[in-house]
Amino acid sequence: MALSRVSQSETVGKELPGAAFRHFTVTSCRILTRRLDLLARQSFLRINPLMFQALDTQKTPLSFSELTGQLGPNAIYLGNINGPWIREIASFPLHRLIDAVQSGQQSEDGDYRNRAKGFQRLGDYTEHNTKYYQQFRPDLPEVADQVALESGLLKATVSVIRQPPGNTIPWHQDQYFQLKKRLTPEEQSHSAIWRYLIFLEDWKAGHFFQVEQTPVVKWRAGDVITFEPHALHLSGNMGLEDKLTMQITGVDSASSWLHKAPSAETGARLGSAIRK
């Protein structure tokens, strides 16, 4: 099985007894589990089903160093929340055009300007090939607020991004610009900030997302993923149709999807919200 380290946390070097694992959810190709002996934001691991069987039958606890030979990707699959609400969001027109280079350089935010300059140093990224449309609430349907509430993230911001063909958002780390406007400096320093990415349509050829060394493709509408805060990632559209995603960013809580995985029931509740 392929070798790939999931967590960047130093604490994962501890012994990993089989009892520390519990089954979390099953996908078509791998099992998402989490360690119960670590903080939730440090504990998510994706493991090949064959490895899960090995853990189940292994009499001697395996060390983390032994397990790293079989760990899965950096992107964390949380669940699927597809439903009629997604069509309402996906069909909503987005008019706010941004490019990751020129718009960033003109920003009043120094971090945003630095990121834009960094894109240019990475390669031939310009205002012509880094375009995307992005809108936040309240310039989105009201159901977006309900999605944020369901996520369990506190003080959450919600946005939708439409990325046209031929454009990319190059390697970067999220800076959470909009969320930080809602947080005090102390909250920014001590809060666990997470971002959930919801795919609003089924994957189409040429649509691409990558976290660290992990490519993400062939998603289904309603799939929700996340990744460690400040992990490097990129988004690209080399296809023929726009790529649509929704982002929820906020402060972690005990009821967030990191701890209570979203499901079809979540999607059904959101569908009920748009019928009211």
The confidence band for 273, taking pLDDT boundaries of 50, 70 and 90, is low
Q: List, for residues 51-60, the tens digit of each pLDDT value.
A: 444 444 544 4
pTM for this model (two decimals): 0.72
CB 209 within 8 A of CB 200: no
d(CA 164, CA 183): 32
Q: How far apart are CA 107 and CA 261, in angstroms?
A: 36
170 in Cβ contact with 125 (< 8 Å): yes
Spell out the domains of the chain, with CATH numbers in brackets.
10-72 (no CATH), 78-275 (2.60.120.10)
Q: What's residue 76's pLDDT? A: 83
Highest-pLDDT range among 64-78, 146-160, 184-198, 206-220: 146-160
Asked if residues 210 and 234 have their Cβ atoms less than 8 Å apart, the reply is yes
Out of 113-117, 170-174, 227-231, 237-241, the most confident range is 237-241
Q: What is the pLDDT of residue 100?
A: 83
What value does the mean pLDDT of the chain take?
75
Check residue 27 and give its pLDDT: 33
Chain-centre distance for alpha carbon 214: 12
pLDDT tens digits, one per residue of 34-57: 444 444 444 444 433 444 444 445
Asked whether residue 75 carries a pLDDT value surpassing 90, the answer given is no
- 2 pLDDT tier (thresholds 50, 70, 90): very low
Say what the pLDDT of residue 107 is.
Answer: 64
Residue type, 213: Q
Q: d(Cα 211, Cα 75) in Å, to the nearest integer? A: 6
Percent of the chain topping pLDDT 70 = 69
Q: Is the Cβ–Cβ distance between 11 and 38 less than 8 Å?
A: yes
Return the amino acid letter for 7: S
153-210: pLDDT as tens digits: 999 999 999 999 999 998 888 888 889 888 888 888 878 899 999 999 999 999 999 8
For the chain, the straight-line distance linking the first and the last C-alpha, in angstroms and rounded, comes to 49
